[in-house]
Chain A
Amino acid sequence: MTTVALKPATMAQALTRALRDAMAADPAVHVLGEDVGKLGGVFRVTDGLAKEFGEDRCTDTPLAEAGILGAAVGMAMYGLRPVVEMQFDAFAYPAFEQLVSHVSRMRNRTRGAIPLPITVRVPYGGGIGGVEHHSDSSEAYYMATPGLHVVTPATVADAYGLLRAAIASDDPVVFLEPKRLYWSKESWNPEEPPAVEPIGRAVVRRSGRSATLITYGPSVTVCLEAAEAARAEGWDLEVVDLRSLVPFDDETVCASVRRTGRAVVVHESGSFGGPGGEIAARVTERCFHHLEAPVLRVAGFDVPYPPPMLERHHLPGVDRILDAVGRLQWEAES
């Protein structure tokens, strides 16, 4: 019997590995962005790529996000498969017009003649003590833009698999990387990286019978902690990790809610106009007769992202999640 040598890897390392494997597998894959070359990106996700594949394949660009994404459009039109790095969530906003006016709709406006296989990597979310403009959760903007896929991993294995799938996709993918999970570790076999699944499937991270926590990205670990803590209250919580916000896996989510009869959506993004409203509506429309209580949302507050010394009061934590679970009208059962 051969023993598999499992080694610890961080999410950042898994992302690097995914980029490297994608670049090795397909010469059309090009990485471009600010500081992605010699430095390896401010989070070191592109570490070593310029050295291994040359600066034409992993390119330090001028500091201009619209220019980076706009150039990626032209590169994709000429048959390349660009992977663009936006340095931080809030620094991706200058590229918003390119994303909305061109990237998302080029396939549609040209009747399929110009598909744009572009991956836009965006480190997002808070919890790392980042000062102003370094901690936004901007997924609702991207979700509201038809033509984009919006994907976010919560585990090291998914970081690899989803990024490979995003790069392989013939559609533009906004790949949201939870900053605070960059240094989270899992064991994996570096000889055989995790399987690549198509984009669009959610996964049940923890099975439970009492209620479903529907979440994604940085909030998945928080929900798993909350589920552990909830055992003391006698609640057995199920945790669904969406992985993909667009397309949305109604099937997995609704199957879970029909089993548990109660649901809380958890994310860092603000609740007003945030992803939770859409998710709660979808669940309610599809599972109304299985629901014992209204679908609740646990989210960041509807305030500009707070300064680092205050962010713990903003981010949804175990207590806020448990409080919501407690409000799921349990008395109706008795």
Chain B
Amino acid sequence: MTVMEQRGAYRPTPPPAWQPRTDPAPLLPDPEPYRVLGTEAAARTDPELLLTLHAQLVRGRRYNAQATALTKQGRLAVYPSSTGQEACQVAAALALQERDWLFPSYRDTLAVVARGVDPVQALTLLRGDWHTGYDPYEHRVAPLSTPLATQLPHAVGLAHAARLKGDDVVALAMVGDGGTSEGDFHEALNFAAVWQAPVVFLVQNNGFAISVPLAKQTAAPSLAHKAVGYGMPGRLVDGNDAVAVHQVLADAVRHARAGGGPTLVEAVTYRIDAHTNADDATRYRGDTEVEAWRAHDPIMLLERELTGRGLLDEDGIRAVREDAEALAADLRARMNQDPVLDPMDLFAHVYAEPTPQLLEQRAQLSAELEAEREGAQ
């Protein structure tokens, strides 16, 4: 029978090798960002968790304010504030177990501190006395990554290695909306999905990549939808609802730990402050927009729930604020001390053993310092 003869009954069949890789339906994010606070589900949440989240959010906001103040006093070279995004920062740290790893980007100092890193050591990069001020192995926190999305493949590799060794370790990697345009975002998600690596990707969609709004960054229905193309679930969550973010991340971490593979979580939030203290946000956005987001403030949302349920009163809020003030006072006091610098550190840790070339240059710097000391006398 020729094709002409079978025309009536002809149905095109897929080529022999073709089969659907995976059913996309279960991977799709919800049409609306997932919320807990202000919904019926809020009543079922654990009071202890709510109080812990609240205390951490208040500490986080105070930390951001103090760090920004330190830039004005010349104690920090620069500070990218996460004010408005505290729910994402805190929930990311609290969703992990001790043995897990956090891979932060440069705006994620709060998450690093919430994970247990010393607040001063967490600021070493931004103070400028070294690059990474903490030992990444102490709290299993990778260095704050400045080149966008480049830390995501590291999270995948670490989680993959842990799985090969039989350890049930999960890596949570943080990136911004702008970072999702980078090639490393794509490569990391693809590797994670192919390897079924236990990784959770948290995209904090704070509306802006410095000045460029999301509309100029992507034409995707949402950033969470990007997950589907890699064959992993995408979750969309209200990034200012600390309980919802924590729940979604904890679910994703559990899923990864159980061998279910990676998840992409998009937390919809807003950067209340400018990109950094050196940025002028009035050049690219209006007050109305900022005010609308202030009305959806993560601390306010949580306090409304806590006070409404009688879990927190004025005294309780005061106690939390005092704790945050103590954190800020300690930060201020320690950051106001000049860091101890040793110029010879330039040559430490470039290689396990310095090359002959570096030994020569080290001797040169040593002689320069000696001459400086003699000149000062």
A contact set with B: CB distance below 8 Å: 30, 56, 61-62, 64, 66-67, 69-80, 82, 94, 97-98, 101-102, 105-115, 146-147, 149, 169-171, 200, 246-251
Contact = CB atoms under 8 A, between A and B. Distances in A.
A111 B349 contact: yes
B135 A113 contact: yes
B191 A67 contact: yes
A240 to B, nearest CB: 16
B188 interface: yes
28 contacts: A56-B164, A64-B191, A66-B187, A67-B153, A69-B153, A70-B154, A70-B187, A71-B154, A71-B157, A71-B191, A74-B153, A77-B136, A78-B165, A106-B143, A108-B349, A108-B350, A109-B131, A109-B132, A112-B348, A113-B136, A114-B143, A115-B352, A149-B351, A170-B352, A248-B356, A248-B357, A249-B356, A251-B356
B299 to A, nearest CB: 33
Given A71-B191, A147-B350, A77 B158 contact: yes
B121 to A, nearest CB: 11
A70 B355 contact: no
Contacts of B194: 62
B120 interface: no
A82 B154 CA distance: 13
A71 to B, nearest CB: 3
B243 interface: no
A11 B162 CA distance: 34
A71 B351 contact: no
B161 interface: yes
A112 B190 contact: no
A70 B157 CA distance: 7
A70 B158 contact: no
Interface in B146-173: 147, 150, 152-162, 164-165, 171
Nearest to A60: B194
Contact of B352 (A76, A109, A171, A246): A171
B157 A101 contact: no
A247 B164 contact: no
A102 B158 CA distance: 14
Given A74-B159, A113-B137, A247-B357, A66 B352 contact: no
A97 B154 CA distance: 13
Contacts of A200: 355-356
Contact of B154 (A61, A73, A79): A73
A98 to B, nearest CB: 6
A80 B158 CA distance: 9
A108 B348 CA distance: 7
A85 to B, nearest CB: 15
Contact of B131 (A74, A76, A80, A110): A110
Contact of B157 (A64, A77, A109): A77
A105 B346 CA distance: 12
A110 B143 contact: yes
Interface in B327-377: 348-352, 355-357
Given A70-B184, A149-B351, A98 B161 contact: no
A115 B136 CA distance: 12
B99 to A, nearest CB: 12
B96 to A, nearest CB: 16
B183 interface: yes
- Max chain B C-beta neighbours (<10 A), residue from A62, A82, A111: A111
Contact of A246 (B156, B164, B165, B355): B355
B350 A70 contact: no
Contacts of B355: 200, 246-248
B245 interface: no
Contacts of A246: 355
Contacts of A82: 157
Contacts of A105: 131
A192 to B, nearest CB: 28
A240 B147 CA distance: 40
Contact of A71 (B130, B160, B186, B348): B160
B54 to A, nearest CB: 33
A74 B160 contact: yes
A114 B136 contact: yes
A150 to B, nearest CB: 11
A171 B191 CA distance: 25
Given A70-B156, A70-B187, A97 B150 contact: yes
Contacts of B112: none
- Max chain A C-beta neighbours (<10 A), residue from B162, B183, B350: B350
A62 B190 contact: yes
Nearest to A109: B131
Given A76-B157, A79-B165, A106-B143, 4 more contacts: A61-B191, A74-B171, A248-B356, A249-B356
B138 to A, nearest CB: 9
Contacts of A147: 350-351
B153 A73 contact: yes
A69 B350 CA distance: 19
B147 A74 contact: no
A203 to B, nearest CB: 16
Contacts of B171: 74
B142 interface: yes
